[in-house]
Amino acid sequence: MKISDSMVSAINDQIKAEYDSAYIYLAMSAYFKSAGLDGMAHWMQKQYREEVEHAEKFIDYLYERGARVIIPDVAKPKDNYADALEAFRTAYAHEQYVTSRIYKLVDLAVSEKDYATQSMLQWYVDEQMEEEDNTSSIVSKLEFLGTDKHGIYTVDRELSAR
Ligand code: OFO
């Protein structure tokens, strides 16, 4: 069964969203580096690479379905934050936004009875659950620590192990 034009266009929009995510996290990594938080910088750089993989997975899927891939412009990301907590809160909110986008893709695939796309999207549904969980648990730790620099450096060291 041929994939619909509306599904192809929605997946191309999501490819852009994934590259935008990648750039947001790459910019966060640069911010953390400038703040001397190398562990968090490392964590965000890994996240950047994951987002590129998410985009590539969608690209490969469109190729598999014989559809046209449009390589998007990437939006300039915010490049400064007040502190680590603000950056991770932004990351968590961003992941919630991405989850809502993935759910809309699922809704579209369901409404079109596009079972192949539904099956492909299940991976992203699971991945979003993990991404929200990862970012929200770091937010909770940082909220608990407040301005406790020693604690923040301990979290930084923990995140360098990712
Ligand atoms: Fe691609 O999962 Fe984050 O944004």
pLDDT digits (tens, 9 = 90+) for 72-82: 999 999 999 99
Distance 95 CA to ligand 1 centre (A): 6
What the block records as the tokens of 87 is 């950056």
Distance 18 CA to ligand 1 centre (A): 6
Distance CA 137, CA 128 (A): 14
Return the CATH number at 124.
1.20.1260.10
Residue 64 identity = E
pTM over 0.75: yes
pLDDT digits (tens, 9 = 90+) for 103-155: 999 999 999 999 999 999 999 999 999 999 999 999 999 999 999 999 999 99
Residue nearest to atom 1 of ligand 1 (CA): 51
Q: What is the pLDDT of residue 5?
A: 98
Q: How many separate domains does the chain show?
A: 1
**Ligand 1 neighbours by CB, cut-off 6 Å:** 18, 21, 51, 54, 95, 98, 131
Q: What is the pLDDT of residue 49?
A: 98
Structural domain including 126 reads 5-159
Distance 124 CA to ligand 1 centre (A): 9
Distance 131 CA to ligand 1 centre (A): 7
